[in-house]
């Protein structure tokens, strides 16, 4: 049975590249710069990304903080009730 065109077993013509095209440049852009210039570029990119961040307003931050604190208190209460119930159940079962 013949394989279908483009199957894994038979590569297409565009998949086969001559040896000259398979070799890429050595180093690329990074090889041309020294370590200090690369470090400076890295920090400039960090600052540029931080400028894109949408920071919450004071009101949003207060709301988010309140929601998290309330959620944590509720979960502490839930775990406490479950722990108390299981400890009493264990005392009842095992004496």
Query: What averages of pLDDT result for each successive group of 10 residues across the chain (95 residues)?
Result: 57 57 56 85 95 94 98 98 96 90
Residue 58: both structure tokens together:
């004071």
Within a domain: 25: no
68/78 Cα distance (integer angstroms): 15
Look-up: residue for tokens 């108390």?
Answer: 84
DSSP result, 7-59: -SSS--GGG---HHHH---SSTTGGGS-HHHHHHHHHHHHHHHHHHS-PPPHH
Predicted pLDDT at 65: 98
Within a domain: 18: no
Within a domain: 28: no
Look-up: residue for tokens 């839930």?
Answer: 78
Within a domain: 60: yes
Q: What is the CA radius of gyration of the chain?
A: 31
Within a domain: 11: no
Within a domain: 8: no
| Structural domain of 82 | 56-94
Among 4, 48, 71, 7, residue whose Cα is nearest residue 40: 48
Domain total for the chain?
1
Within a domain: 26: no
Predicted pLDDT at 95: 81
Within a domain: 74: yes
């Amino acid at each position: 049975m013949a394989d279908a065109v483009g199957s894994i077993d038979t590569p297409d013509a565009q998949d086969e590249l001559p040896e000259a095209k398979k070799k890429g440049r050595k180093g690329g852009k990074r090889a041309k710069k020294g370590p200090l210039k690369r470090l400076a570029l890295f920090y400039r990119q960090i600052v540029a990304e931080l400028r894109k961040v949408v920071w919450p307003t004071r009101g949003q931050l207060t709301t988010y903080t309140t929601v998290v604190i309330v959620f944590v208190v509720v979960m502490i209460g839930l775990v406490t009730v479950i722990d108390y119930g299981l400890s009493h159940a264990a005392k009842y079962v095992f004496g």
